[in-house]
Structure formats: structure tokens, C-alpha cells
Structure 1
Amino acid sequence: MVNSMLVNATGKYVSTQPTTTGTSNQSNNNLYITTAAIPFIILVVIVICVVHYKRKRKCQSITTNTKEEDYTENEDNIISRSCVQLEQLTLAPPQLPEKRFSQRRSKHSFQMSTFTVLDISLQELLKNGKRGCFYKAKLRRGNCKGHKLVTCKIIKNGVSWKKMQGEIFIMKKLGYHNNVLQLLDWNIVQEPHMLIMEYAGLGTLKTFLRTNRAQLSTNKNLQRLLALAAYYIGLGMEYIASKMIIHQDLALRNIMVIRFPQECKITEFGLARVVSNPMFRNSKKSTKSGVPLRWYPPEYFKSNTYSFPSDVWSYGILLWELQTLGCAPYPEMENVEAVVFGICSGYRMRKPSECREEIYRVMKWCWADIPEQRPSFSDIVRHLDTIVEDDNDYVRVFINEERYQMSHQTPTTNQASVLTASSAEG
């Protein structure tokens, strides 16, 4: 103890042992840093695991979507087992409180409907969709904007209020176009919720082509008729795109027919959305079960995106459906996993047997792997307009040649007798 102490100038002892305070503080700081870092590292590991798990689930949800069969099943079978029976459609009280409805109604100016299901006679099921059943219907009293016969969509249970609002808002925004099914009225206050649209008595274009396949197959003007239908549907999609609306569910089953081929009308806007940027090219879209995978483009599976060029891809699939008179796309694929893998790997469907080369070129144009290399609907309409005009010129020449041949052919016995009789009367 004495050796480690010295006397300073004041006569007090001072310790000569080295101080350890600085070293202890440094060790404590290192301990604090290590202790604080451990929870952070654990949190990072958890986040990485969660992200990996979600991505895995996402891939599984895309490739194992069993609900997709509803889009490719024979529509006759779907109609025969409709989930909504006419006699079961009875009036029910509103699901939502009146206060909540009035707040939401003011946002998009939704008026109270003057019609309920009791005012409508549902006569025939036209289409069983994912979110609703389409019926041929007749109003029991009065008319709806001049229409006595209407198409009535009964919305299925499980469709959210927001989805119903969105579909009505988009159809109101579209207004009237010759190739878009017009919304006349709606009732989403009382169950069953319903939309009232203009009458499309021939049902869906898919059902129309399948039902009349035998007759159409022997029609010498079939390719001209199909080109006209494609042209008018293209006009409808050009109009929809001009309103900054992406459809997201374009397929033959969602085209209603009033008069073939001139009045083929686009419907089913349950997945549609409005975008505000005219230069819009790409937007994230959450993966959901039940989307029509056979009509969706590769960018949806690769980066979970859907944009205006994605609707163009679906239009190319619709052209293929038209040319096969209602066949399901990718018939050579055994399951949905094979379809998704094929689309992402660059596989494209072969030209249908009776399809013209110029129409198949439009399909392949729509199926460009890079979205920016696909045409706009205005480009498609201009291209199809040229094809339709050439067809009309061919028909006019063909008719004129037939008339010329008839006027110069030798009269048959019956014709000669008619001519003799007419001359005698003269």
C-alpha cells in the first residue's frame, strides 16, 4: 500500500495505480451496442422470412388457381346449374345502415332506384358470370328510359359494396356507345342487388357462336362476319380506352349480342378501373383468386402489373376465340400451371384452321411480349377497317359478277315459259 502511494506537495497521499474508468466505460458502450443490435437483426430476419413467404404464397395462388375453370367451362353447363333461381329472388332489407348509404351515395351521386326485383319479370338466364347472373327481363310496370325489355344483372352474394359502386361509376362514366352495354338503372340498397341494362336478347357472343356453330361453319361469308364483329368490338374498346378505363376482363363471354355482328356490346366492368394519367403504362395490381388467367399477359405473371397494353393482349385472345367459334384458349394445355408457364416462356397459340393470315397477324401483334410493342386499339381499328373495306369490295364485285352471269345465261325451260307468258301478256 505504501509503495503504491506518493506524497504530493500538500502532504496528501496520491495513488500511483493506473485508472480503469475509461476502459470500463468503453466496455459498457460496446455491450449496449451489441444488446441493441440483436433485436434489430432478429427483426430484419423476420421481415425477410415474411417477404419470402408472401412471394411463395403469391406464386402458389397464381399457378394453383382452381377457380379459373369457371372461365373456360362450357357455358351451357354453367347456365343449367345457375346459382340464382328465379323463384328464390325475394325482397330483403338493406344490408347497410341508411346513414352510411347516404354518405357513400353523395360521393358518386347515386340516386335511389325506382325499381326493385318485384318490378321485374326475370324470363331467361343469359349468362352466369363470376360476380352476377344476367337475365332477359321485362318490366312489370312502366319503362326504364324508354325500355320495356331489359337485361338484368343480379349481383351475387359476396360482392363488396365498393365493387358494386365502382362498376356503376364506370358504366355511368361510359354512358352510351353502340358497342358498350348501356346501364339504365340500378338498385344496390335492397337485396337482391341488381343492375338494369339495355336488352341483349341473343346472350353472350360465346354462347351465340357455339349455339350456331353448324350454321355459321357453312356460311361462305363467315370470315367477313367475324372480321366485322372484331372491328365493332375494337371500336368499343377504343372508346373505353379513350375514357381512361382499363377493362381487365375482356373475353368473348363478356360480349353481349343484340344483333350480330354489328351490335356486339362489351360488358362486365367488375374488374375495370379508371386511371388519370394519359401517359399511363403500368400499375401494380394485387393478385386475386378467380382472375381469367388464360386471357392475361406475361407481365401480370412476371411483375404483377396490368395496363392498357394488357387489354390489347386480351383482345388478341378474344380474336382467337372468335375464329374458333367459341373454343377455350390454349386447348393443348392440360392445366393452368402449363398455361402460365407457356405464356411466360413465349408460347403463342397457333393459327386456327380457317383463320385468314391478316387476322392472325393482328393476333400476334397483340401478343408482343413487350407491352410497348403492342398496338393501341386505335391502331387495331384502323387495320381492321382496311380488312373490312377490302371484304366489302370483294362482296360487291362478287354480287355484280353473279348479276352479269344471270343476265347473260341461256334461259332454262321454266324461265323460257315465264318469258313467253310475260311477252304474250304484253
Structure 2
Amino acid sequence: VGSGSSKLVYKARWLQPHASTADVAILRIRGSGATARRQALEQELKTWHQLGRHRSLLGLLAVTVEPSSGDYCLVTEYACQGSLERTLRSFAEEEETIGELVQLEVARQICDGMEQLSLHEVVHRELAARSVLVWSLQGQDHLGVRVKVADYGRWIMGWRGDGVSRVGSESSAGSRAGRARWMAPESLLRHRYSEKSDVWAFGVTLWEVWTYGKVPYWAITDDELVGPKVVDGERLAAPAACPPAVYAIMRECWREKIKERPSF
């Protein structure tokens, strides 16, 4: 169902003795059989295990090894509606409305997952609508919303040591320049990542929710120009029909001084 330079993703059926079957995703991490990569991956898997099963984080169900290559294969929950980015854009394409209560519930569940990461001192680094998975999202049913934060593993999801993702995405964020649309100034200037840079990205993700998956700073077509604009103080404008209180939260997330941003 997907691939990148460092992983392959398969949809599979999990057959459990004396239990119901379930659709799952299998992430095969290319090159993870190498000693140095394996050690880093194993440490990250320990962290994932410590996070536990959480209602708003993608769940790890099992880990196995592909015999011929030694590559790790991770069995995770399968999101039937794909990424939040794709789901939001499908609403826009069909000219369907997403109710405000639904948008708020999506935001709440993303924040819930990010709070769990921050409590365990895990920095996501690439929070965006593309890295949130959707199990259920109907336009007017806020009680039925079910989304989970994913892609929070640096090695599992294809990170290099410099914080640049090697995994392709559905949007313009495949390169570091493209990812600048979600990055805080300190990440752009000094490669500094923390809960507060995740908070910045959360604000941009809220903006995506209220714009039905629009590309942040869409009027700037050259990815290389976005970072300097952000560093110089340019911020995303309020989306149409976005409640002032929600946009105020976005603006708090985008405060230049790190200590002035809220926590999850």
C-alpha cells in the first residue's frame, strides 16, 4: 500500500488462534538488519513499548524479522481511511462540509496523542496532517471521530541523523525544504527539535484541518523560500470560517519565543 526509500508498507490480515481476524499494516524497514541500524531501531522499539497502547497513537502489535534480509517487520494497526491529509482533501474535492465539532474533535485527539509523546519525552519532529491516520471521520458525526498520531519514530519512519525524513509523503513535504512549511524557526535555523517545535507543527496541523488539507503557505510555490519567510515572522492567515478562539491557539503555537508557546 506504500513505499519509501527506507520502508515498505503492506496491508495484511492478522490471523490469531481463538480470536477474530483483523486488518493490519506491516512496515518492513529496509536495511534494518545492519548492526548499527538494528541497535538504534531496537532502542526505539523499547521506547514505543514504553508508550504503551494509547487511544490516540498508532499501536504496535508485533515485531518479526524477515529471514533472508534480517529486516525488521513491524505489525501495526491499519487505518482504513488513510491519512488525515488525504481525508481532508477528499472532503474538499467532493465539496462536503466538515462540522466544527468534528474539526474540534480531530484536534483534540491529535493533541491527546502528542501529550502522551511529550510525557515520555518523545519528540515527533514531523507532525502534520499527513502523519495522522484516520479510522473514522464523517462530516457531521463528532462522536464517531477516530484518528491517531503516527510516524513518530525517527528510525522506524525513515529519519536520518540530521532530522531529514527519507520517506516520501502525499504532500510537498518529501524534502527538508518542503517540510519547512511545518517547522519552527529554531528547527530551521539550528536543527533544534523539542516539544515546543512539535507544538508549532500542531498549530500548522490545525490550520490544515480548518482549510481541508490545503498546503501551508500555498501561495509560495518555491519550497526554498518558505523557511526564510517563517524566520522573518510571516505566519499563516486565519482560515475562512475558523473560530477566532481556534486561530488564537494557532498563533500561540507560532510564537517566536519558545518559552511562550503552550505545552500539550
TM-score by length of 2: 0.79
Find 1:182's aligned residue among 55, 59, 70: 59
Alignment correspondent of 2:13: 138
CA, structure 1 residues 208+166, in 2 after alignment: closer, same or farther (shift >3 Å)?
farther
1:8-27 equivalences under 5 Å are: none
Alignment correspondent of 1:164: 41
1:318 Cα deviation after fit = 0.7
Alignment correspondent of 2:106: 229
Find 1:244's aligned residue among 113, 117, 121: 121
Q: C-alpha distance in 1, partners of 2:196/2:180?
A: 16
Identity of paired residues, percent? Answer: 27
2:202 match: secondary structure: helix
Alignment correspondent of 2:162: 287
Please say if residues 145 and 184 of structure 1, whose CA atoms lie closer than 8 Å, have aligned partners that are also in contact. Answer: no
1:89-108 equivalences under 5 Å are: none
1:210 Cα deviation after fit = 1.7
Residue 346 of structure 1 pairs with residue 238 of structure 2: no
* Aligned CA-pair RMSD: 2.7
1:161 Cα deviation after fit = 2.5
Q: C-alpha distance in 2, partners of 1:143/1:311?
A: 40
1:194 match: secondary structure: strand
1:18-417 equivalences under 5 Å are: 125=1, 127-128=2-3, 131-139=6-14, 141-142=15-16, 148-157=22-31, 160-188=37-65, 190=67, 191=69, 193-215=72-94, 217-219=95-97, 222-260=99-137, 262-271=145-154, 287-290=162-165, 291=176, 292-377=179-264
Gap regions ≥5 residues in structure 2: 138-143, 166-175
Alignment deviations for residues 161-196 of structure 1 (CA, whole Å, 9 cap, x no partner): 344324422221111111101100112453453210
Alignment deviations for residues 53-94 of structure 1 (CA, whole Å, 9 cap, x no partner): xxxxxxxxxxxxxxxxxxxxxxxxxxxxxxxxxxxxxxxxxx
Alignment deviations for residues 79-117 of structure 1 (CA, whole Å, 9 cap, x no partner): xxxxxxxxxxxxxxxxxxxxxxxxxxxxxxxxxxxxxxx
Of structures 1 and 2, the one with the larger relative CO (CA 8 A, separation 6+) is 2
Count of aligned residue pairs for this structure pair? 238
Gap regions ≥5 residues in structure 1: 1-124, 274-284, 378-426
Please say if residues 136 and 201 of structure 1, whose CA atoms lie closer than 8 Å, have aligned partners that are also in contact. Answer: no
Q: C-alpha distance in 1, partners of 2:195/2:263?
A: 8
TM-score by length of 1: 0.51
Alignment correspondent of 1:14: none
Q: C-alpha distance in 2, partners of 1:166/1:144?
A: 32
CA, structure 1 residues 293+162, in 2 after alignment: closer, same or farther (shift >3 Å)?
farther
Please say if residues 313 and 366 of structure 1, whose CA atoms lie closer than 8 Å, have aligned partners that are also in contact. Answer: yes
CA, structure 1 residues 321+198, in 2 after alignment: closer, same or farther (shift >3 Å)?
same
Alignment correspondent of 1:276: none
CA, structure 1 residues 129+249, in 2 after alignment: closer, same or farther (shift >3 Å)?
farther
Give 1 or 2: higher helix fraction: 1
1:245 match: secondary structure: coil
1:229 match: secondary structure: helix
Please say if residues 41 and 155 of structure 2, whose CA atoms lie closer than 8 Å, have aligned partners that are also in contact. Answer: no
1:245 Cα deviation after fit = 1.3
2:76 match: secondary structure: strand
1:133 Cα deviation after fit = 3.9
Q: C-alpha distance in 1, partners of 2:52/2:19?
A: 13
Alignment correspondent of 1:8: none
Q: C-alpha distance in 2, partners of 1:135/1:212?
A: 26
CA, structure 1 residues 228+200, in 2 after alignment: closer, same or farther (shift >3 Å)?
same
CA, structure 1 residues 218+204, in 2 after alignment: closer, same or farther (shift >3 Å)?
closer
Please say if residues 133 and 153 of structure 1, whose CA atoms lie closer than 8 Å, have aligned partners that are also in contact. Answer: yes
Please say if residues 255 and 266 of structure 1, whose CA atoms lie closer than 8 Å, have aligned partners that are also in contact. Answer: yes
Q: Which letter maps to 1:374?
A: R
Please say if residues 180 and 188 of structure 2, whose CA atoms lie closer than 8 Å, have aligned partners that are also in contact. Answer: no
Alignment correspondent of 1:416: none
CA, structure 1 residues 306+272, in 2 after alignment: closer, same or farther (shift >3 Å)?
farther
2:104 match: secondary structure: helix
Q: C-alpha distance in 2, partners of 1:374/1:358?
A: 16
Q: C-alpha distance in 2, partners of 1:313/1:322?
A: 15
